[in-house]
Amino acid sequence: MNHGFLCYYHKLVRRAMSYEDQEAMNQFATFLIGLTPNEFTALACIIGFLLSQNLNAAAQQSAGNFFECVGQVMLTISGQNYARSNFNDPNNNFMN
């Protein structure tokens, strides 16, 4: 992929969120990382139940699909960042 396009895309995404929004997301992510697996799952369940109230089945499915897609994009970006950081590590040998 063209490096210039990626730089432009990154700048575009960064502009979409204000500094305060980015800081709030960083604080929320830090909060989530600090949760135990059980706390993390319980919080996700509670949020899912709250978001589903007063929505019909089609709206629940649409919102669920949207959040699923957001999660997949984040996991893909994270996985690629992890793979690239390990690929650049001279101690890793990907050929074995």
pLDDT tens string 70-81: 999 999 999 998
Tokens representing 55 are 């929505």
Residue 36 to residue 53: CA distance in whole angstroms: 26
What's CA 10's distance to the chain center, in Å?
15
The pLDDT of residue 18: 81
Residue with tokens 């997301």: 25
The answer, yes or no, to whether residue 96 has pLDDT greater than 60, is: no
Average pLDDT over residues 42-64: 95
Distance from the first to the final alpha carbon of the chain: 27
pTM for the structure as a whole: 0.65
The pLDDT of residue 56: 97
Tokens representing 77 are 């970006």
Averaged pLDDT of the chain = 84
